[in-house]
Copies of this chain bind each other. A is one copy, B any other.
Amino acid sequence: MKLQQLRYIAEVVKHNLNVSSTAENLYTSQPGISKQVRMLEDELGIQIFGRSGKHLTHVTPAGQQVIDIANDILSKVESIKKVSEEYTKPNQGELNIATTDTQARYALPQIIREFIKRYPKVNLHMHQGTPSQISEQAARGDADFAIATEGMHLYTDLIMLPCYHWNRSIVVTRDHPLAKITKPSIEDLAQYPLVTYVFGFDKASEIEKSFKRANLDPRVVFSATSADVLKTYVRLGLGVGVIASMAIDANIDKDLVAIDASHLFAHSTTKIGFRRGSFLRGYMYDFMLHFAPHLSRDVVEKAVALRDQQLIDEMFASMTLPIR
């Protein structure tokens, strides 16, 4: 068994069992991969991939187990490399952050600006996507961190640490009736069509909950993943925006009126997640500390040692998190 063979089968799976495109992606030849895959199968005495003739059609049950472990191994191989780089070039390396549009646009810029100043030799890559894409990237090891508010809890391979709470605001044009109400009720809001985040994407659930509690049925006429897009459609008069408060810029959004809605909707919590068992570089700890000041190295290491997500949640339940 060779590490390359494990790399090959893992990559083949990631390329939907297409060996040719896998080879292209790895800058190697297709026959080379084919051969190594079959050699591994021969050595283990099992089929990892099901075949119809010469085509790979599916992953066998045994194969799936092997691939899961192989990914674990490959991730640990990366950890070894990171360990050595931590000693050879402590302030140099990669930082891959997978996050949602809102975080990338409003929560992260200041942090990242400081981070780049502090670690000019660390190459920073931002990956945007839906919460589930983000979580998977982190769980697969394609990203060091996943930063999102929802949808990460499904991945047991991720350790998630709460970073900050945030509330929503109601956003309307200056001439909208709601603009004159300083503290609108949920019933007030229910009278108007809504413009808010895509359900299941970021945080629609908290909004739905509040309406359900009041036995109301919100009418979402437009949803998107990006606060900027939402604001644009609020400006077009499509409806009333319900948007993360941090996404409102007093300078840029002068033409809009933002009304705090923390009395209507429970706060949400943005979390940072990383792969269980992955080695964290010094600058990664530092990044977390600057993103969420309560996440000191000690705290993070303690949380990791707890292993169980529920215990981690309990650990932070007693801590007061910043509110943005």
Task: State the A residues within 8 Å of B (CB).
Answer: 1-3, 44-46, 62, 65-66, 69-70, 72-73, 76-77, 79-81, 83-88, 156, 277, 279, 305-308, 310-311
Contacts and interface: CB of A to CB of B under 8 A. Distances in A.
Nearest to A48: B84
Contacts of A62: 83-84, 86-87
A211 B86 CA distance: 52
Nearest to A71: B76
A44 B84 contact: yes
Number of copies: 2
A269 B88 CA distance: 48
Given A62-B87, A69-B76, A307-B307, 13 more contacts: A1-B3, A45-B85, A46-B87, A46-B88, A66-B80, A69-B279, A70-B80, A72-B76, A73-B73, A73-B80, A306-B308, A307-B308, A310-B311
A286 to B, nearest CB: 19
Given A88-B46, A311-B311, A2 B1 contact: no
Contacts of A69: 76, 79-80, 83, 279
A76 B44 CA distance: 14
Contacts of A83: 62, 65-66, 69
Contacts of A72: 76, 277
A317 to B, nearest CB: 16
Contacts of A73: 73, 76-77, 80
A131 to B, nearest CB: 23
Contacts of A306: 308
A84 B308 contact: no
A44 B80 contact: yes
A62 B89 CA distance: 13
Nearest to A306: B308
Contact of A1 (B77, B87, B279, B308): B77
